[in-house]
Amino acid sequence: MSVFFVHEPSRGIVTPLSDKFRIRQILAPDELNEIQKTHRKITSNPENYPPLKDYDQQPSEEQPPSEEYQAGQERENQIAANAYSETRDQPSEQRFQAFAWSIMSKPVISISITATLSEAWRLMQHHGINHLAITNESHQLAGLLSEKNILPYLMESDVPVTDITLNTFCNRTLLSATPDTDLYELAEVMLENQIDGIVIIENNALQGIITYSDIVKVLLNAKQIETFA
């Protein structure tokens, strides 16, 4: 049985995410499109955000994404949206099945809460990732840092990034899920809470992380397999 949890690192509290606190239900054909609207803010403002690194033909960080590159992303997003809407309401025995344990990225790259923002950015660039788990002195999960959290500080803050420590980002609530969580449940919760990453935890241990890009890739692959079957 899949369960989502709400983490409040600053208070040391972890509580189950009850269905009654779920924000809203969105009609199936619109769900992934709505996720894309949230995350498209990054790609629609290339002057503020570098492109995601999940595409083989990504442009360099010094140059904004070309129209051809953006069009390619739009096509992939639309294919994924179509695949999602086509399978979302199918009977479970007919629907494409994927679970958190099979699609999560592992091991999760982590960084100490005492590290600086510049150190976190360099670590992301070194590993080619968009998320870092922040851990406290006891090596427990204290927060989740994403590339889009860092960029405003890198580009606009008057405070040197070498002076900003990661505890700045650990007063935020974050969500986790269990390894047996269904792909569609993950997509819905990420949409409802407007997040682009969710950590996977089992027996109080961090097992992996799933991002919006991971979900899109799985849906794209499933659609391609179905097309050529």
Report the CATH number that the domain containing residue 120 is assigned in CATH.
3.10.580.10
In eight-state DSSP terms, residue 37 is: H
pLDDT number for residue 204:
83
The pLDDT score that the predictor gives to residue 98 is 84
Residue 145 within any structural domain of the chain: yes
Q: Is residue 84 part of a domain?
A: no
Please provide residue 134's backbone torsions phi and psi, each rounded to the nearest 5 degrees.
-100, 130
Q: Which amino acid is at 157?
A: S
Residue 15 sits in which domain range? 4-19+98-228
- Residue 182: inside a domain, yes or no? yes
Residue 118 lies in a domain: yes
**Count of structural domains, the chain:** 1
For residue 88, give the H/E element and its range.
helix 67-88
Q: Which residues contact 208 (CB under 8 A, 6 or more apart)?
A: 100, 101, 104, 105, 106, 107, 108, 179, 199, 200
In a domain, 220, yes or no: yes
Q: Which residue has the tokens 């792909």?
A: 183
Q: Which residue has the tokens 């949409």?
A: 191
Can you give the pLDDT at residue 25?
42
Q: What contacts 60, CB < 8 A, 6 or more positions away?
A: none
For 110-153, write each residue's pLDDT tens digit. 999 999 988 998 999 999 998 999 998 888 888 899 888 887 77
Give the chain's count of helices (H) and strands (E). Answer: 7, 8
Alpha carbons 229 and 224: distance in angstroms, whole number: 8
Q: What are phi and psi of 8, to 5 degrees?
A: -120, 85
User: Is 69 within a domain?
Assistant: no
- Please write the tens of the pLDDT for every residue from 70-90: 566 566 555 555 555 555 555
More confident residue, 46 or 168: 168
**What are the two backbone dihedrals, phi and then psi, of residue 187, each rounded to the nearest 5 degrees?**
-60, -45
The closest alpha carbon to 190, from 23, 68, 75, belongs to 23
Query: Is 201 part of a structural domain of the chain?
Result: yes
Task: Compute the Cα dihedral for 121, 167, 214, 193 and give only its sign.
Answer: negative
Report pLDDT for 80.
54
In a domain, 13, yes or no: yes
CA pseudo-torsion sign 15, 20, 24, 26: positive
